[in-house]
Amino acid sequence: MLHIRRHTPLQPGFFRDDQQEHPGVCTFDLDTDRVLARGLSPVAAPPSSPFAATTPKHMPNPNRITERLFQSPSKYIQGPAAIHNAGKYLSAFGKSPLLLSDELVYGIAGKDLTGALETSGYKVTRGIFGGEAFREEVARIGNIAKDNSVDFILALGGGKTIDTAKAIADDLGLQIAVLPTTASTDAPCSALSVIYKANGEFEHYRFYSKNPSTVLVDTSVVVKAPRALPRRGHRRRDRDEPRGQVRAEQPQLWRGPPDGGVCGDRREVRGDPVQAVVEANTLLSGLGFESGGLAAAHAIHNGLTAIDNHTLHTKMHGEKGTHPPYSPPPKLTLLLTVAFGTVCQLILDSAPTEEMDRYLALMVSVDLPVTLADLGIGEATDEELFRVAKLACAPNETIWNMDRLITEEIVFAAIKGADAAGRDYKVRHGLKA
């Protein structure tokens, strides 16, 4: 949850602590645009106040809802060689799954998973993921599932594979089990998909009534992912609520063999450090975003997908591993643009320089972009950036979960300000701006 300490009088429609034990502290559920209050009461608007008649769109909690909400997968399993036990964990769903993965991931882990399931009496139908989570791909794979009368969906891969599989399962009314192969996405635990157009431009969020039934993480597979992905996963834990703090302990997942450690070629997993990192990036990050919410960072990412720039749209494309048979342009990576979007959100949140520098230092240390030039769009025109801001402020976008006034002009200024802040940080630390 995001805790915001207010040092100014609360606006009508917010909440105050009548006991004054924690004056001016509000907890926001950013995912559902609600203010959650612990023993708090609404602040009444004075009769003469302009707020008495209407509640501005930018104000959180216009309906004064005070429920707390937590949602998660039904079961989360993690450990080395977990794929070999998949038959035991998935038996409740049926014996005829559709396995969705791309060609690269199938070679890395799909063959082993198929073999383990077939040994346990499963009949596996393979669906080859084309590389982009968009309507036509969902329909194409869905038809394969229907033609083969499958009884549940298995998603093996990264975020777009998982999002596509969730949409297929929802269309067919089937359960889904997720086997992520990277520790850099929140898709495994979430009850939504991000749907794109065939050219990689964001189209819409698709929400579901429940989270995946089972998430099975084989850490011996995860460590084979491109080296950049897990470290970018570290950044995702803070990306949309950078001013909140979460601390958790999961000692059962931290236990490992007594000779703990990770071997030099990263192809074996032993002991606590890898297990803890994978758990933090996959489970804890997923629960945090699902039960805490998204805000400006993702909305600005969605706007950035509309910029027609080759460099921006080919970031990390060499690590994607496959091109769809219908060959849309290379995919935009969400990880990089959300990182820059986080800098924009810190600007919107009026973060002090000390706090801003702390986040910029982290991002720079793991090669995440902190300027428009880092994204390959340093020459973007004001007209292009204003279009990004306009798309970020579309109705029902996650930016409206921010607790402050949001307009297209303010977001445009925040994008420009974030770029300036990133360049200033690099100059002050002797880095190439």
User: Which candidate, 380, 351, 286, 324, places its Cα nearest to that of 31?
Assistant: 286
Say yes or no to pLDDT of 36 above 90: no
Phi–psi pair at 231, nearest 5 degrees: -70, -30
Please state which of the ranges 195-209, 241-255, 404-418 shows the lowest mean pLDDT: 241-255
Domains of the chain (ranges; CATH) run 75-223 (3.40.50.1970), 294-313+329-429 (1.20.1090.10)
Structure tokens at 15: 């909440």
Greater model confidence, 186 or 224: 186
Q: What is the mean pLDDT of the segment spanning 76-82?
A: 92
Please state which of the ranges 51-55, 86-90, 269-273, 365-369 shows the lowest mean pLDDT: 51-55
First vs last C-alpha separation in the chain: 34
pLDDT recorded at residue 8: 30
Give the pairing type, strands 214-218 and 175-180: parallel
pLDDT recorded at residue 64: 52
Q: What is the mean pLDDT of the segment spanning 399-404?
A: 87
| Angstrom distance (rounded) from CA 329 to CA 20 | 56
Greater model confidence, 348 or 289: 348
Record the pTM. Answer: 0.65
Where is mean pLDDT largest: 26-35, 93-102, 306-315? Answer: 93-102
Greater model confidence, 6 or 120: 120
pLDDT recorded at residue 226: 62
pLDDT recorded at residue 310: 55
User: Which candidate, 148, 150, 98, places its Cα nearest to that of 127?
Assistant: 98
| Angstrom distance (rounded) from CA 65 to CA 63 | 6
pLDDT recorded at residue 149: 96
- Measured in whole angstroms, the distance separating CA 117 from the mean position of its chain's CA atoms is 29
Task: Give the sheet arrangement for strand 25-29, strand by strand.
Answer: 2-5, 25-29, 34-36
Greater model confidence, 305 or 147: 147
For 103-237, strand residue ranges (E) read 125-128, 152-157, 175-180, 192-196, 202-207, 214-218
pLDDT recorded at residue 245: 31
For 39-158, strand residue ranges (E) read 41-42, 75-79, 97-101, 125-128, 152-157
Say yes or no to pLDDT of 22 above 80: no
pLDDT recorded at residue 309: 61
pLDDT recorded at residue 396: 82
131 near 160, Cβ under 8 Å? yes
Q: Which residues are catalytic?
A: 240, 298, 301, 317
Q: What is the mean pLDDT of the chain?
A: 75
